[in-house]
Structure 1
Amino acid sequence: MTNVTIREATDKDIPIILGLLYELGRPKPQQDSDVDSFRKLVKTYIQESDKKLLVAILDDMKIVGMISMMLLPRLNRDTLEMYVPELIVLEKYQGKGIGKKLINSCITFAIEKKCHRIRLESGNQRKESHKFYKHLGFEQSSLSFTKNL
């Protein structure tokens, strides 16, 4: 792949980050007040010390991917667990090593923080994503259940 760098997200990246989330299938704002609310959520995420948001930049110009991370304490461990809620690479740039670079940055950060594992979820329909994660050494270790409220 051409020149791809990974860096921490900043407030100026928020509109692009929201676009990436929509591409992943996250809810889109229904009204202007929702856009402001979503912007504030991302801004808070960037500022919180137990979270990290990285972006992948192509040729020092365009954000083409992102990964979000949360450090979670567990009741049965004295080390943190890293949870990855989102990993997104624009479809046009998938298969070019960008997702791998983002995951490797995540792994490096988890090792620095002495996490005991990295956990992520992937929708049942995302078969290619499942192959990608397995290729990077992730194992399917559980089922996830949700109840929408």
Structure 2
Amino acid sequence: MTVNFRRAVKTDVPAIVAMLADDPLGATRENAADMSAYFDAFDSIDADPGELLIVADRDGEVVGTLQLTFLHGLSRGGAIRAQIEAVRVRSDARSGGLGKRLIEWAIDESRRRGCHLVQLTSDRTRVDAHRFYEKLGFSGTHLGYKLTLV
């Protein structure tokens, strides 16, 4: 079966949300019972030229996703950074290299857009994900902080 990467469309949102909710952390953060906020968020992401919501499509089914955000800044000589977020592979499609292909696609797209740096964050509890990202060449160089507002 062939997997293609494409820009997400609105009808992909339920499948994306299902993948976001399909782990212990996501199960506590996502509320698939009320999809309206997800559809609103999709509309904002889709309209923003600095955002790409990508899905991995296998024979018409969404089996993976990630969001790629392009950040323009003054630091690093005005460099553009790419931020990878919400990387997910559907549970029945894991361990076949799809996650690696998604990240490699994001890195290639970042290069194509002139980015100097690709960055991502990963929850401290996702130890397997940390090993995965390190195998792909990422290094844990920074300590991140978050402030919940809602």
Whether the TM-score (by the shorter chain) exceeds 0.5 is yes
Q: How does 1:82-97 map to 2 (within 5 A)?
A: 82-97=82-97
1:31 offset after TM fit, Å? 6.3
1:137 corresponds to 2:137:
yes
Q: How does 1:1-149 map to 2 (within 5 A)?
A: 2-24=1-23, 25=26, 27-29=29-31, 32=34, 35-58=35-58, 60-76=59-75, 77-149=77-149
Change (3 A) 1:132 1:30: closer
TM-score, L = length of structure 2: 0.88
Task: Verify the 8 A CA contact 1:83 1:118 in the aligned structure 2.
Answer: yes
State the distance in 2 between where 1:63 and 1:31 align: 19
Task: Verify the 8 A CA contact 2:57 2:64 in the aligned structure 1.
Answer: yes
Task: Verify the 8 A CA contact 2:85 2:120 in the aligned structure 1.
Answer: yes
- RMSD of aligned alpha carbons: 1.7
TM-score, L = length of structure 1: 0.89
Structure 2 unaligned blocks of 5 or more: none
Give the letter for the 2:31 counterpart.
P
Task: Verify the 8 A CA contact 1:14 1:43 in the aligned structure 2.
Answer: no
1:101 offset after TM fit, Å? 1.1
1:72 offset after TM fit, Å? 0.5
State the distance in 2 between where 1:63 and 1:30 align: 16
Q: Higher relative contact order at CA 8 Å, sep ≥6: structure 1 or structure 2?
A: 1
Give the letter for the 1:99 counterpart.
G
Task: Verify the 8 A CA contact 2:13 2:38 in the aligned structure 1.
Answer: no
1:18 offset after TM fit, Å? 1.8
1:30 offset after TM fit, Å? 7.9
State the distance in 2 between where 1:93 and 1:147 align: 33
Structure 1 unaligned blocks of 5 or more: none
- In the alignment of these two chains, the number of paired residues is 145
> Which deviations, in whole Å up to 9, do the C-alpha atoms of 1:101-123 show, x marking residues without a partner?
11111011101111011100011
Task: Verify the 8 A CA contact 1:55 1:66 in the aligned structure 2.
Answer: yes
Identity, % of aligned positions: 26
